Amino acid sequence: MSLAITHFVVGATATMLVVIFFLPRVRFPRTLMVLGGLWAMIPDLNKVVPSELGFVDAVHDSAWANVFWAHHFLDTVDPSDTTKAAVLALAVFFLVSLVAEGVGYHLRFSEPASNGGRTRTSSPFETATESRASASSGAFAASPPFRLAYGVRQAGGLCSVVVGTGLLSFVFRTPEYTGLLAGIGLLLELSGLVVLLEGIDPDEFARRVPSWVSTGTKTALTLGSSLVVVALLVTLSNVTPLSVAYAGISVLVVLQLVRLWELPI
């Protein structure tokens, strides 16, 4: 059987490809990616469920497990839990993730040309419709459920930064877990920072913070994070389950850096 991380990464990659080609404007692509990875791991529940639920074992060992992003096929072609298969899956996941981030950035910030590049003049009906849609969107954004969701998201981002900083503070106190603490701590910090910055008005931010400060901070974070990523990836010289986990953390850190540079601030 393949490692659980292999199934997760294959499921996440396959889901991401489906989103790119068939649902390019979906609102929560990263959430779907994670759910796709979890979906691919469902047959492995046979390792944790009570023995009375024998049908779970039956599903895991049958061709029906292929419904969960080719779970049975992966177990067949990788019967010995090779870490090399996990590393290969992580590499493909990283490349597909970069493509997905590029597609998402293009859809968010580019304006497709129409009529051979000429600016199209909207009719009065279209203008009125857009105005109503904008007003409706503003009313929705001001609604209590939206404010609650926004507050929870910002609080989650702040907690992520605090927890990540706390983990990094233990790096030099517990040398036996240096790699995990540094990798997970950095990942939590970057994820929380991106979430917090996504909730800031770009125009207001530009008025208050000079562009050179923003660019310099991003550059410093990128250089520091790159040192940690390189240190984690060096462990792949001896492929073990732990080094594969380090590689997975490194991929996620790089993707958070990509998201950081995509922010229009």
Assigned domain for 123 exists: no
pLDDT above 70 covers a percentage of the chain that reads 82
Q: Is residue 16 part of a domain?
A: yes
73 and 154, same structural domain?
A: no
Query: Is the pLDDT assigned to residue 136 strictly greater than 70?
Result: no
Among 63, 85, 108, which residue terminates a domain?
108
Task: Evaluate the CA torsion angle 246, 14, 83, 42 in order and state its sign.
Answer: positive
Give the mean model confidence (pLDDT) for residues 46-57: 77
Closest CA to 25 of 108, 133, 112, 94: 108
Mean per-residue pLDDT, 97-110? 68
CA dist 265 and 252 (Å) reads 22
Instruction: Please tell me whether residue 26 adopts helix, strand or coil conformation.
Output: coil
Q: Is residue 131 part of a domain?
A: no
**Of 85, 108, 131, at which residue does a domain stop?**
108
CA distance 37 to 1: 16
Angle at 240 between CA 188 and CA 170, to 5 degrees: 35
Cβ pair 38, 8 in contact under 8 A: yes
93 is a domain residue: yes
Domain of 216?
A: 140-265
Name the band, by pLDDT with cuts 50, 70 and 90, for residue 174: confident
Q: Would residue 133 count as lying in a domain?
A: no
Q: Shortest CA distance to 49 belongs to which of 34, 39, 59, 62? A: 59
Per the structure, the count of domains in the chain is 2
On whether both 24 and 84 belong to a single domain, the answer is yes
Q: Which residue type sits at 124?
A: P
User: Is residue 165 a part of any domain in this protein?
Assistant: yes
pLDDT tens by residue, 220-244: 999 999 999 999 988 888 888 788 8
Q: What pLDDT shows up at residue 170?
A: 84
Task: Report how far residue 136's alpha carbon sits from residue 114's, in angstroms, rounded to the nearest whole number.
Answer: 26
